[in-house]
A and B are shown apart, each in its own frame.
Chain A
Amino acid sequence: MDNSFIRFDDVSKSFGALKVVEELNLDIGKGEFVSLLGPSGSGKTTILMMLAGFENPTSGAIWSDRKRIDKLPPHKRNMGVVFQNYALFPHMTVSENIAFPLKMRGTSRADTSERVKRALDMVQLGALAERRPSQLSGGQQQRVALARALIFEPEVVLMDEPLGALDKQLREQMQLDIRDLHKRLGLTVVFVTHDQTEALTMSDRIAVFNHGKIEQIGSPSEIYDHPSTRFVAEFIGETNLVAGSVHSIDGHEAVIRLENNEVIKVVAKDRLRSGSKVVFSIRPERIGLGAGPGNTLETRISDVVYYGDHLRLLLSGGGQSFVVKTDRNRLPPSVGDSLTVSFLPSDCWAVDA
């Protein structure tokens, strides 16, 4: 890939017998915001640590801007790292913390104070320059860590679950702030998270990890709408997984026979063979109430949950249960009612089991 800026080339990492990362190949373009998403223990943090230089790959090579960096010590990599617990220096003031990278680079005093001032303004902390980290709230500490990682204009910014310790409202605010900074400064960002919403809202591309391997990599909509594996479909958002066997294939549509012999049309993929077992995913919000084009299914309501902005119905039909999200004003459903639902074949996405 020509616009590749960071490249992982067959990178593996083991701790003793434990393989944490297996033969990772990943290209990240300049100015791209890539999230590494996965459950804990999926190897995503180890990948970030290898990129930052705190871990050495067991095999393989890491390239940055066409230079091989996997043997370079961390302090020569010129990457800004934002740690999960911020890692601010407790004995330094906010401005001393932010000035630290410049001090290490021998920047002149006048230039340093000018840039620190600008960085403080950027994260709206100008008034707190002389405070100690312990006197700041979590969100403020996070901003300091961000300013400190950006002030030396690194080529890449690495973030290790930086918003994990913040409460929900602050987290959403910071998500927007970071996305804004990324766009404004044209930063290349590698963002590690286990929060799928965070990954979906912020990233250009998401790499979903499981057991040290990439399950799927693609834009947020690709990942959400067209999950390639059962793991991705379940990990990202909420979904209904429906099992059946392929009855016939007709052009770009496949007919699936469910366990109770009902048939459903889905998007055909090359891998589907007549007679083979298959699992497909359909998102709860893609299922409509009442008859409609595409597939229809007769179901019975087994539970109704009120969520404020929507209702969630638990339905049984086709030999299994479905979750459906619906506008709460549509109809007052009650448990035990029978209900016809419909969904488009293009919303049914066969996944690898």
Chain B
Amino acid sequence: MSVLFRKQMVSLALVAPLLLFLIVFFAFPLFTMMKSAVSDPVATQALPASTNALSDWDRSSSPTSEMSAAFVEDLRQINDDQLFGDLVRRLNSAKAGFRTLITKTRTAVKATAGPIDLTAVDKRWADNSYWQVIAIATSSTITDRNLLAAVDLERNSSGAIDTIPAGASANRTILIRTFTMALAVTAACILIGFPFAMIAASVEGWRRQLLLGAVLLPLWTSLLVRTAAWFILLQDTGLINSTLMFLGLTTEPVSLIFNRVGVVIAMTHVLLPFMVLPIFSVLVGIPKTLMPAAASLGAHPVRAFLAVLLPLALRGVISGSLLVFMSALGYYITPALIGGAKDQMISSVIAYYATGAANWGMAGALGLVLLVATLLLYVVYLRLSAERELKP
């Protein structure tokens, strides 16, 4: 056994715990979520004979007797109530009315043995559109239904992609809201964090420790506790409003909670360290003589800032913005506690599908959309930063 091979083995053994952790707790769940977003095996599983029979159907002619016979056979075979429930949910979500139709048909089918006339059980079976739904559901175990629904799109009866009628779903609105709120929080963090980092970088000794401590301290407290603290502060009878009223700045309490303002305030506070620290670390690396040099060369302090300090600090601002923006996209607790119904972000919708509606497909699809959007932004960032570095 060569020395090199042994060395490689040792280093592999050293990273193995991390690798294992990442696979088990990151890569595997991520893959499962992505898979559940696009997999649709229920109909194929529950209706094996129909799957076969409907595969040759042109979906426009009247349903054939082989199709009905296969379907009846399949219904007779389903003994698993869990599977039947999933099937009903799947078909009903594609076309309303399937729940009563299938339950009624199953009862009728189970009552007799041998062939049965489905149109006699329910005349809806003469309607092509119900058969079309079954045909689509059994045609493939992979579906884009969840992904389309995540951005308020669906396939119409002819299979073309179409927008969901207004009012039926708000995913797109909530996605846009999520991005605008993350953007607002990032902007607020830059506005507060940049001057703060500049002050912290310009002082030394205990003053710097104090300033950095003030930023880091919130990180040592749980997110829930911090959000709860803001909940108390922002109330109509909270400290902020009573101070404003005491100072006579306002006669009525300013509405700060259960709206966008409150959420942005609380999220900015929570995410500020991720903006301040990267900017600070870049600023302390900038030689102290550059600003005096700019002044001696005739630059007014504002112009010196714009021409020298800002371009040099931009790297910190960009990485800080990226950190804040990405974290803000996935925020759940703060909007849930401080925000109103119109301030919920995409994570609360995902949580609803995952825990409330047990619709893992939709939860996975929304998560996937968020992931793709974030990755796209990250690629844009990489492009921008690479271009800056490539410049001679």
The reply to whether the CB of A152 lies closer than 8 angstroms to some CB of chain B is yes
Q: Mark B374-392, 1 if CB is under 8 A from A, else 0.
A: 0000000000000000001
A78-135 residues at the B interface, CB under 8 angstroms: 78-81, 83-85, 87, 89-91, 93, 100-101, 103-105, 130-132
- In the complex, what distance in Å separates the CA atom of A93 from the CA atom of B296? 19
B298/A152 in contact, CB under 8 A? yes
Within 8 Å by CB of A53, from B289, B294, B295, B312, lies: B295
- In the complex, what distance in Å separates the CA atom of A85 from the CA atom of B308? 17
The reply to whether the CB of A294 lies closer than 8 angstroms to some CB of chain B is no
Binds A, one of B143-151, B299-307, B318-326: B299-307
The reply to whether the CB of B160 lies closer than 8 angstroms to some CB of chain A is no
- In the complex, what distance in Å separates the CA atom of A85 from the CA atom of B303? 22
Given contacts A52-B292, A87-B289, A91-B311, contact A132 B392 (CB under 8 A): yes
The reply to whether the CB of B83 lies closer than 8 angstroms to some CB of chain A is no
The reply to whether the CB of A74 lies closer than 8 angstroms to some CB of chain B is yes
The reply to whether the CB of A7 lies closer than 8 angstroms to some CB of chain B is no
A105/B298 in contact, CB under 8 A? yes
Within 8 Å by CB of B298, from A75, A90, A131, lies: A75
Chain A residues with CB under 8 A of B308: 89
Chain B residues with CB under 8 A of A100: 294, 297, 299, 307
Within 8 Å by CB of B287, from A52, A87, A93, lies: A87
Interface size range on B against A: 20 to 34
A85/B297 in contact, CB under 8 A? no
B304 to chain A, nearest CB (A): 8
Q: Which residue of B lies closest to A80 (CB)?
A: B296
The reply to whether the CB of B293 lies closer than 8 angstroms to some CB of chain A is yes
Within 8 Å by CB of B299, from A52, A75, A149, A158, lies: A75
A299 to chain B, nearest CB (A): 51
The reply to whether the CB of B20 lies closer than 8 angstroms to some CB of chain A is no
B290/A89 in contact, CB under 8 A? yes
B288 to chain A, nearest CB (A): 9
- In the complex, what distance in Å separates the CA atom of A53 from the CA atom of B303? 17
Chain A residues with CB under 8 A of B292: 52, 54, 74, 81, 83, 87
A81/B301 in contact, CB under 8 A? no
Q: Mark B328-363, 1 if CB is under 8 A from A, else 0.
A: 000000000000000000000000000000000000
The reply to whether the CB of A186 lies closer than 8 angstroms to some CB of chain B is no
A73/B295 in contact, CB under 8 A? yes
B301/A75 in contact, CB under 8 A? yes
Chain A residues with CB under 8 A of B298: 75, 78, 101, 104-105, 152
Chain B residues with CB under 8 A of A132: 392
A93/B295 in contact, CB under 8 A? no
A148/B289 in contact, CB under 8 A? no
Chain A residues with CB under 8 A of B312: 90-91
Residues of A participating in the B interface, judged by any CB pair closer than 8 Å: 52-54, 73-75, 77-81, 83-85, 87, 89-91, 93, 100-101, 103-105, 130-132, 148-149, 152, 158
**Nearest 5 Cβ contacts at the A-B interface:** A87-B293, A81-B296, A87-B289, A74-B295, A101-B297
- 11 additional A-B pairs beyond A53-B296, A91-B311, A148-B297, beta carbons within 8 Å, are A52-B292, A79-B296, A81-B292, A83-B293, A85-B287, A87-B292, A104-B297, A104-B299, A105-B298, A149-B297, A152-B297
